[in-house]
Amino acid sequence: MEYEESDRDAKEEDHFLSSTSEDDSFEGVTQLKTRQATTTKLKRFKSIPYISYALIFVASSTNTVTGILTRDLSDVDPLVIVSIRAAIIFLISSLSLFFRKITPFPERKLLLLFIRALLLVTFTTAVFFGYRHLPFGDVRTITATQVVFVGLFAQCFLSEPCGASEVQMVILTVIGVIMVTNPPFLFGGDHGGNVIYDRIYYLAASFSAVAAVVQAANFVLIRSLKDLDFNVVAAWGGITGAILPMVAALIIDKSALSPVPNHVGTIVLIGLLSYLSQASMILALQVEGANLCTVLRRAVDILLGFCVQVPTRTQSICATAHP
């Protein structure tokens, strides 16, 4: 498998050089050297025992903290949080690229980077809405269904294997999500009918499900961009996520920024932790397969999510009890 990847990388490099004209040959060679250096660093990084497990744990734990902080900012528009968070990620990533003299505009990767950035904005907005209106552990469990879609996308676009064990894993994941979330259209109400199902819970659950599909596509795209420095990928997501959500928030409510001064410290902390989470997950996806990373990430997410949810005694998904 490692030899196949090396051969594939060599072919891509030959094609890249042959398609570069004389006018931009110097720039093309510079970008190729940068990509080769990145690939070499990733190979050394991959040789560290259990490094992917450590990266995924860091990504999941920091993401859990940002989710908790987001729930506490009940008076701040989630779109504003997404925008400021993305701006901080862009600032850190662009500074890193500037001081290391790495171009943020790699040849033949711009469209993939832009699509990945749009997917990230969609995912972050949808999952923040879920955190705002659903129990924390339930959001994590719903988004765990992305394992199904990552397996499908990885097989179709990355030619990663999908055998009997992967199919069993998908089936068990879906069954586990159903048993944990107890959707009322399958299990019905309880407590003698004194549980009222609110439309906002169905909407938040739908947003979380959409986030699962979008994040699956995002993971596969990151894997296909493995020859780029992770700060290039993060910078594109940061600048896109900083502009689009802020424009949408101000169109919906012109006073959306008014609560921000009261929570500057918390929002900045969310941005810093989000950068650490993104960097860790991008590196993990660059050194390991998309399927393995997704399974590990979802397992840790669900475990940490319910460790948070149980002590706070949050309510069940899709329902809210009234006395």
Statement to judge: residues 163 and 39 lie in one domain: no
Q: Does the model's pTM come out above 0.85?
A: no
Question: Token match 């009234």: residue?
Answer: 322
pLDDT score of 272? 94
State the Cα–Cα distance between residues 71 and 81, nearest whole angstrom.
11
Statement to judge: residues 33 and 175 lie in one domain: no
Neighbours of 175 (CB within 10 A): 10
Statement to judge: residues 39 and 117 lie in one domain: no
Statement to judge: residues 53 and 28 lie in one domain: no
Statement to judge: residues 37 and 74 lie in one domain: no
List the domain range (segments joined by +) for residue 19. Answer: 1-47
pLDDT score of 323? 37
Q: Per residue in 60-69, pLDDT tens?
A: 889 888 888 8
Neighbours of 11 (CB within 10 A): 10
State the Cα–Cα distance between residues 174 and 141, nearest whole angstrom.
10
pLDDT score of 270? 92
Q: Per residue in 122-177, pLDDT tens?
A: 988 888 888 777 777 677 777 877 777 777 777 777 666 666 666 666 676 667 66
Give the residue from 47, 62, 81 where a domain finishes. 47
pLDDT score of 303? 76
Give the residue from 47, 62, 79 where a domain finishes. 47
SS (H, E, C) the chain: CHHHHHHHHHHHHHHHHHCCCCCCHHHHHHHHHHHHHHHHHHHHHHCCCCHHHHHHHHHHHHHHHHHHHHHHCCCCCHHHHHHHHHHHHHHHHHHHHHHCCCCCCCCCCHHHHHHHHHHHHHHHHHHHHHHHHCCHHHHHHHHCCHHHHHHHHHHHHCCCCCCHHHHHHHHHHHHHHHHHHCCHHHHCCCHHHCEECCHHHHHHHHHHHHHHHHHHHHHHHHHHCCCCCHHHHHHHHHHHHHHHHHHHHHHHCCCCCCCHHHHHHHHHHHHHHHHHHHHHHHHHHHHCCHHHHHHHHHHHHHHHHHHHHHHHCCCCCCCEECC
pLDDT score of 90? 95
293-323 core/surface letters (b: 16 or more CB in 10 A; e: else):
bbbbbbebbbebbbebbeeeeeebbbbeeee
pLDDT score of 193? 44
Distance, C-alpha 47 to centroid of its chain: 25
Domain count for the chain, please give it.
2
Compute the Cα dihedral for 83, 244, 60, 302 and give only its sign.
positive
Statement to judge: residues 77 and 134 lie in one domain: yes
Statement to judge: residues 94 and 17 lie in one domain: no
Question: Token match 């923040």: residue?
Answer: 128
State the Cα–Cα distance between residues 29 and 113, nearest whole angstrom.
21
Statement to judge: residues 242 and 156 lie in one domain: yes
Q: Which residue stretches of the chain have pLDDT < 70?
A: 1-47, 137, 158-170, 172-174, 176-198, 290, 305-306, 308-323
Statement to judge: residues 4 and 153 lie in one domain: no
pLDDT score of 98? 92
pLDDT score of 95? 94
Token duo for residue 181 = 């979330």
pLDDT score of 321? 37
Report how far apart the first and last C-alpha atoms of the chain are (Å, whole number).
60
pLDDT score of 107? 80
Statement to judge: residues 299 and 282 lie in one domain: yes
Statement to judge: residues 57 and 145 lie in one domain: yes
Statement to judge: residues 6 and 91 lie in one domain: no
Strand partners, 195: 321
